[in-house]
Amino acid sequence: MSRIFCIANQKGGVGKTTTCVNLAAGLASVGQRVLLVDLDPQGNATMGSGVDKRTLTHSVYDVLLETADIPEACVRSEKGGYDVLGANRELSGAEVELVALERRNERLRAALKAVDAGYDFVLIDCPPSLSMLTLNGLCSAHGVIVPMQCEYFALEGLTDLVNTIKQVHANLNRDLQLIGLLRVMFDPRITLQTQVSDQLKAHFGDKVFDTVIPRNVRLAEAPSYGLPGVVFDPASKGAQAFVQFAREMVIRVSAEVPSNAPGQDHTAASA
Ligand code: ADP
Ligand code: MG
């Protein structure tokens, strides 16, 4: 059975795609079977996995419109060691086309159900908005991973996201939980970042992942080589942090209690 996670934050440039690609490669490097789903029409996670978005025969767009299934539409990131359900600009049209269709929020969920046995982890890279594409992601997932920079305004946007997760949990997907906040692009020399990090821990407790991803130029360089940072320079601090994060995720998942167990509050509300 696969565990499905959305990498979401409605802000752009906070490290969602970098997290998605490197967590996928990190999980693959510790022996997990991984599918990366690119739900952003920019297709950065696709390109960053070494898959050319311009030459895709099928993409996540076909899966949402049910003109292809996932085994048909996905391609292998050979270097990354995981499968990619890619995206390109065509996907921005899906937003409009889906509005008129039935089960419009549940298309991805249904398609993922059919490949449930084939993967240990499914990671969904969401666009920087709370759009219908993001909603398809949230309706498909067991959990949300929120990458964030420890900056002054970081907490502000978080409230909207946490409320969205609560609403999806209440109305559309009882499985959905906020899994955790991942501190990314972290620089411990900057006092403000350390302060915000402490505030996050005080406020969100164990919803803050133990692993911290440092600011590391190798992670930023890797996409231009079509490689996850974890593969591009495995010895770099950034790569090592993502492999550590992959291990943390494997441990979290193996320690999970079924979400319908009595007395367990796994909802976003406990955040
Ligand atoms: P998003 O998907 O949220 O828009 P990205 O993952 O594309 O964010 O990251 C935004 C920019 O920051 C990219 O140029 C990326 O290479 C860079 N970046 C992300 N994480 C790091 C990091 N830990 N260290 C250095 N640069 C990073
Ligand atoms: Mg992105």
Residue 108 sits in a domain whose CATH number is: 3.40.50.300
Q: 210-230 pLDDT, tens per residue? A: 999 999 999 999 999 999 999
CA 219 / ligand 1 centre spacing (Å): 8
Classify residue 263: in a domain, yes or no. Answer: no
Read off the DSSP letter of residue 101: S
Q: For residue 240, give the 3-state DSSP assignment.
A: helix
Q: In this structure, which ligand is nearest to the CA of 220?
A: 1
Contact 218, 49 (CB under 8 A): no
What pLDDT is stored for residue 259 in this prediction?
A: 53
Which residue lies with its CA nearest to atom 27 of ligand 1? 220
Classify residue 266: in a domain, yes or no. Answer: no
Classify residue 267: in a domain, yes or no. Answer: no
Q: Distance between CA 195 and CA 229 in Å, rounded?
A: 28
Classify residue 132: in a domain, yes or no. Answer: yes
Contact 173, 38 (CB under 8 A): no
- To test ligand 1's pocket by mutation, which of 11, 16, 17, 18 has the most ligand atoms within 8 angstroms of CB? 18
Average pLDDT, the chain: 93
Classify residue 121: in a domain, yes or no. Answer: yes
CA 217 / ligand 2 centre spacing (Å): 17
> Which atom number of ligand 1 is nearest to the Cα of residue 20?
6
Q: What is the domain range of residue 98?
A: 3-256
CA 84 / ligand 2 centre spacing (Å): 15
Q: What is the mean pLDDT of residues 197-207?
A: 93
Q: What is the mean pLDDT of residues 40-53?
A: 98
Classify residue 269: in a domain, yes or no. Answer: no
Classify residue 184: in a domain, yes or no. Answer: yes
> Which atom number of ligand 1 is nearest to the Cα of residue 241?
23
Point out the least confidently predicted range of 39-53, 75-89, 143-157. 143-157
CA 11 / ligand 2 centre spacing (Å): 9
Q: What is the mean pLDDT of residues 135-154?
A: 93
Classify residue 271: in a domain, yes or no. Answer: no
User: Cβ < 6 Å from ligand 1: which residues?
Assistant: 12-18, 44, 128, 184-185, 213, 215-216, 219-220, 238
CA distances from 127 to 4, 6, 29, 71 (A): 17, 10, 26, 23
For residue 154, give both structure tokens: 């970081």
> Which atom number of ligand 1 is nearest to the Cα of residue 238?
23
pTM of the model: 0.94
> Which atom number of ligand 1 is nearest to the Cα of residue 147?
3
CA 13 / ligand 2 centre spacing (Å): 7
Name the pLDDT band for 267 (thresholds 50, 70, 90): very low
Q: Tell me how many domains the chain contains.
A: 1
Which residues are within 5 Å of ligand 2 (an ion), measured at CB?
16-17, 44
DSSP state letters, 53-100: GGG-SS-HHHHHTTSS-HHHH-EEETTTTEEEE---TTHHHHHHHHHT
Which residue lies with its CA nearest to atom 4 of ligand 1? 13
